[in-house]
Amino acid sequence: MQRGNNHGKLAILSRMAAPVAAITSQIGYLTTIMWRDGTETETGAASGDGDAATPATLRVLLAQPRGFCAGVVRAIDTVEGALRKYGAPVYVRHEIVHNAHVVADLKAKGAHFVEEIAEIPDGATTIFSAHGVARSVVAEARARRLPVLDATCPLVSKVHVQVRRYADTGRAVVLIGHAGHVEVVGTMGQVDVPVHLVAAEADVAALPFAADAPIAYVTQTTLSIDDTRGIIAALQARFTDVIGPNTDDICYATQNRQVAVRALCAEAELLLVVGAANSSNSNRLVEIGTAAGIPSYLVADGHAVDPAWLDGVATVGITAGASAPEALVQHVIGVIKALRAVEIVHMDGAQENVEFRIPAALRD
């Protein structure tokens, strides 16, 4: 079972066809886990008397899907597989994924994270992060004859191929994305000709091309169809010869998590997104909640939850960015359980069964 679908005991319970009889504790507190097709109850944290304006039981809506995507699973498995096969240390250029807890866990196992190839000792096992790297980084590692494992997400690699193909046909290449993001840096470094970055519809007007210039666009994978729709429309309105990838090429995980958050926001009064501050897709989930008009917060783990956020709240929605492990979601829930009695509802949503194979050198 891949990590992205593994929610431990809760995942097992969710596959049960019939509801299970309620179990109440003998010390006066109760946590309810409610499924769309049945109910399971179990003991939880004491709710206390609480504020008169605060509902005694807090409904906690869990987004489906949430957390790890297939590209993140592949990247982490690549580091762990390299440690098993070659032993510590292994060197990873940039954080393997944007989550401090994941990075700390891999550091404890013997992974070293660096920002430059020059920091890697001669002959050391080298891993490129899930975000991908520029061709100059690949060339530098090759020149030093470093043994490299490429953990770039296959969907990012697909964008790299598209950029090279469009540039080879003589089209001006436009990248829809966020300046400075490590994935964007790697994508812009795939060709020797300029790649023009646009982050908003207003940026399209500043592109230095005639209206009939042949244009091709690609997108950062942590942006969804909804994120890019307006910019693509602006490109098509300004230029007469515009091509780009099919909508099927948009990262499935980004799109699915955003759709799931919108479903949460239709029912929740508060949104908690589990993820890192430097995670683009996690920040976007927070932005969606804010745009929906509900208080929305990015939390690294349960320690970041402010109890005051829950005052007067009857329903909270919880999701996680694509690089956040399920253990952190459960940590957040555990902290909330210590404050309130909770009813956990697993939302309906897309079922993800995508798997990406790890590098060939590790498949034995």
User: Could you list the residue range(s) of the whole structural domain that residue 268 is in?
Assistant: 3-68+252-346
Tell me: do 143 and 76 sit in the same domain: yes
Per-residue pLDDT at 88 exceeds 70: yes
**Domain CATH number, residue 55:** 3.40.1010.20
What is the percent of the chain with per-residue pLDDT over 90, rounded to a whole number?
A: 80
Catalytic annotation, pick one of 40, 80, 95, 183: 183
Classify strands 214-219 and 172-176 as parallel, antiparallel or unpaired. parallel
Instruction: Give the end of a domain, one of 152, 187, 207.
Output: 152
Res. 363 pLDDT band, cuts 50 70 90: very high
What's the one-letter identity of residue 1?
M
pLDDT at 51: 56
pLDDT at 56: 84
pLDDT tens string 172-231:
999 999 999 999 999 999 999 999 999 999 999 999 999 999 999 999 998 888 889 999
pLDDT tens string 242-301:
999 987 667 899 999 999 999 999 999 999 999 999 999 999 999 999 999 999 999 999
* Total domains, the chain: 3
Residue 183 among the catalytic residues: yes
Residue with tokens 């929906």: 292
Question: Is residue 355 domain-resident?
Answer: no
Tell me: do 236 and 215 sit in the same domain: yes
Res. 132 pLDDT band, cuts 50 70 90: very high
Question: Is residue 362 domain-resident?
Answer: no
pLDDT at 364: 77
Tell me: do 161 and 236 sit in the same domain: yes
Mean pLDDT, the chain, integer: 87
Instruction: Give the end of a domain, one of 104, 126, 152.
Output: 152
Tell me: do 132 and 164 sit in the same domain: no
Q: Which residues contact 362 (CB under 8 A, 6 or more apart)?
A: 78, 81, 82, 85, 149
Instruction: Give the end of a domain, one of 249, 274, 299.
Output: 249
pTM equals 0.84
Per-residue pLDDT at 17 exceeds 90: no
Question: Is residue 359 domain-resident?
Answer: no
Tell me: do 42 and 85 sit in the same domain: no
CA pair distance 118, 317, nearest whole angstrom? 44
- As a whole number, mean pLDDT of residues 155-173 equals 97
pLDDT at 225: 85
Per the CB < 8 A criterion, the answer to whether 65 and 45 are in contact is: no
Per the CB < 8 A criterion, the answer to whether 4 and 67 are in contact is: yes
Tell me: do 161 and 192 sit in the same domain: yes
Angle at 271 between CA 219 and CA 354, to 5 degrees: 45
Question: Is residue 352 domain-resident?
Answer: no
pLDDT at 186: 98
Beta bridge partners of 243: 216
Question: Is residue 135 domain-resident?
Answer: yes
pLDDT at 354: 93
Sheet strand arrangement including 31-35: 38-42, 31-35, 341-346, 57-62, 315-320, 270-274, 296-299
